[in-house]
Structure 1
Amino acid sequence: MAKITYRHPRGTVTVVDVPAPNTVMRGAKLNDIDGIEAQCGGSAQCGTCHVYVDEDCGVVLPEMHEVEDDVLYGTASPRRANSRLSCQLPVSDALDGLVVDLPQAQS
């Protein structure tokens, strides 16, 4: 299980425990966190689960796959160096303490 912090653009912060084998996206959906639409259900096709990873949280993320990299170029909010698709971040103990910022828009 990992404690994940979702920071909303309007300043709200939501911290939840997300059990494996979920993804960061699924953790948001299971906990009714606004800001992650996940229109494709987690298949890395729509980009509506885009998040900005807080690089100061100290969590090492899995390597980005080519499909995720391609999808991030078409997201509604601008891609940044710390952009990831939350559907491509599998939850494990290694993600404990992860902090993600939700973008202004997903679609």
Structure 2
Amino acid sequence: MELKVIIDQDEYTLNVPDEIIAGAGEVFDRMDRDMDGGWQMGRDWVAEPSVEDRIKIVGDKLLTALEQEDHNLGRVMAAYILSRAPHIDCLRLDTSGEVSSSEVYYR
């Protein structure tokens, strides 16, 4: 599957093998359990992150992975996003530190 990501003015298409999406279910479930207790999204504490909030949270981790050229972590974060939002068209990641300002676009 592919995930389109926009960072500032740059657009990337990330290719994520279906095997990663299918095989990392336990990792994704663990990530969800971590977020179940709430999450700091920029300046705001979100007690019960919605699916879209979780996409933005993981998108922020994806941004960090891309900045650090950690391709393995980036693939796993992109796979999480695609597993939880298979109809996502594009993710515009906020680079100012305001996770909640990222935007999720669906097909």
Q: TM-score, normalised by structure 2?
A: 0.38
Q: TM-score, normalised by structure 1?
A: 0.38
Q: Which has the higher strand share?
A: 2
Greater Rg, structure 1 or structure 2?
2
Larger relative contact order (C-alpha < 8 A, sep ≥ 6)?
1
